Amino acid sequence: MTSVADLRMIKMWDLVWPMTIRYHISAPWGMSQITLSVDVPEFHDQPASSLLLGRELWDRSIASAMTRDVMLEIVETWTWRMGWGSFVAPQTNVRGGQIAPAAPRRDSGCLVLHTGHSDNYARRRLILPGIPRSWAHDGLLTDGARGALETMAQFMVMGMCGHLNGAPMIWLNHYPDVDKGDPTNPFGVAFRRVEFVRVCWHTDRAPDPSMAL
């Protein structure tokens, strides 16, 4: 069986306070989800503070790419060291920040979160539904839209990649069911650090409806 070390991943207990935040979003064409994972040492054993982080990250980053047609319905948070289950926080009238009609589902923004490795685990897409309709043309981002998403990605790296720049948290990709056999880690979750982020030109990648972790 391939071990966490073989996969060059980080065990849950080797991080201070790993969290995964899932945003349940309603767009004009249906529901979608966005998932972020971070290690936040200053929130160690502070679950109440942890639950506030998801909304803060939404307001300061993700919402800037989405129109007011997109609504944040639920913030779901896993604080992995606390064991089983997630905390669910319904939201009321929380919308994207762009005042413009939303693009159709086929035209969604996409960031690629890269860990710097060369295997199949190295890349994870972060799909951004409901970007402004004017940001896409013939399946591609416009120059202005690409610039806006690159600026958003740069701010996220500055605020979330503490292993690169001393920020107060570390941006992670999480991988469930890879650290098997540890009874203190019921989801078998392990992690890698996000080392860089790429903005995709193409928009024809519909958001993944999967509910899997």
pLDDT in tens, 190-206: 999 999 999 999 997 64
The residues near 181 (Cβ < 8 Å, ≥ 6 apart) are none
pLDDT in tens, 139-160: 999 999 999 999 999 999 999 9
Q: Which two tokens stand for residue 110?
A: 């996409």
- pLDDT, average across residues 164-180: 91
> For residue 137, which amino acid is it?
H
Model-level pTM? 0.91
pLDDT at 51 (0 to 100)? 84
Q: Is the pLDDT of residue 121 over 90?
A: yes
CB atoms near residue 51 (< 10 Å)? 18
CB atoms near residue 134 (< 10 Å)? 13
CB atoms near residue 199 (< 10 Å)? 20
Residue burial 53-90, b: 16+ Cβ < 10 Å; e: rest:
bbbebbeebbbbbbbebbbbebbbbbbbbeeeeeeeee
Half-sphere exposure of 177 (CA within 13 A, CB side): 2
